[in-house]
Amino acid sequence: MLVLVLTSCTKDTITPIPDTQLEGLNGKVKSRVANSFVALLGAASKQITLYDEQGYKISEEVLLDETKTGEYSLLARMEYTSYQDSTRISKTYGADHKLYDVTTTKWLTRDEYMTTIDNEEEKGQIHKEVVKTDDKGRQSYKVVLREYIGKSQVDTISRNIFEYDEKGYKVLEKSSFMTESYGKIKVTNLTFDKYANVTRQKISSEDIDANYELEYTYEYYE
């Protein structure tokens, strides 16, 4: 009997929370396009994310309008595998289609996961992120660690805390680097679509250089 119990426990894998739930999205989102009208590397940006019917990411693309003419060029593309035993792999490719890094996401508990990034050009360091979720399955806390092998540079750590209003929309993000006090980034959700997903959002801060607007468009599974 004891052997049977132990066997059943080892097979009890953690079911990862879908990405759409982590991001606070409603409905069966098939794709989301986020347009930013501030300088990302000095240009307007567009991020296109595709999800499967269960809400997990399939791919993401980041594009830039460097010439400010409305013509976007690819900066990076991320491709995600399906979860296997609470773990998945994603690969990031540059505009030249060369592999830039490999990210492993592993769920540690039912409300916490860790990502480890293996960068092809940064073999002397280890990049880790630990993310915790709240009782609604949304991101609530993130710690980013950058550790250097051989201590050629000083290890760094940053922290982010996410807060939501009573309707479930993100309204505040607190960010801290090393021993600095937390800076606050205010999120104002301005317009919504028929599924109550945000279509226009304003980001503002007095502590951090973050003042811009975002527009979102969605496609849904039937």
What are the pLDDT digits (tens) for 46-58?
999 999 999 999 9
State the residue range of the domain holding 139. 26-220
pTM here is: 0.86
pLDDT band at 98 (very low <50, low <70, confident <90, very high): very high
What the block records as the tokens of 53 is 């019917």
Which domain CATH number covers 100? 2.40.160.150
Q: Tell me, yes or no, whether 41 lies in a domain.
A: yes
Tens-place pLDDT, residues 134-177: 999 999 999 999 888 776 678 899 999 999 999 999 999 999 99
Among residues 208, 158, 166, the alpha carbon closest in space to that of 184 is found at 208
Look at residue 13 in the predicted model and tell me its pLDDT: 77
Q: Tell me, yes or no, whether 34 lies in a domain.
A: yes
pLDDT band at 5 (very low <50, low <70, confident <90, very high): very low
Number of domains within the chain: 1
Look at residue 2 in the predicted model and tell me its pLDDT: 44
Q: Tell me, yes or no, whether 10 lies in a domain.
A: no
What the block records as the tokens of 22 is 């982590």
Number of CB atoms found within 10 A of residue 86's CB: 16
H-run or E-run covering 5: helix 2-10
Look at residue 38 in the predicted model and tell me its pLDDT: 67
Average pLDDT score, the chain: 88
Q: Tell me, yes or no, whether 18 lies in a domain.
A: no
pLDDT band at 206 (very low <50, low <70, confident <90, very high): confident
Residues pairing with 107 in the sheet: 113
Q: Tell me, yes or no, whether 7 lies in a domain.
A: no
Number of CB atoms found within 10 A of residue 167's CB: 10
Q: Is 151 left (phi over 0), alpha (psi -120 to 50) or beta?
A: left
Look at residue 109 in the predicted model and tell me its pLDDT: 95
Distance CA 215, CA 222 (A): 23
What the block records as the tokens of 155 is 């290890």
Q: Tell me, yes or no, whether 80 lies in a domain.
A: yes
Q: Tell me, yes or no, whether 101 lies in a domain.
A: yes
Q: Tell me, yes or no, whether 16 lies in a domain.
A: no
| Cα angle: 166, vertex 56, 171; to 5 degrees | 25
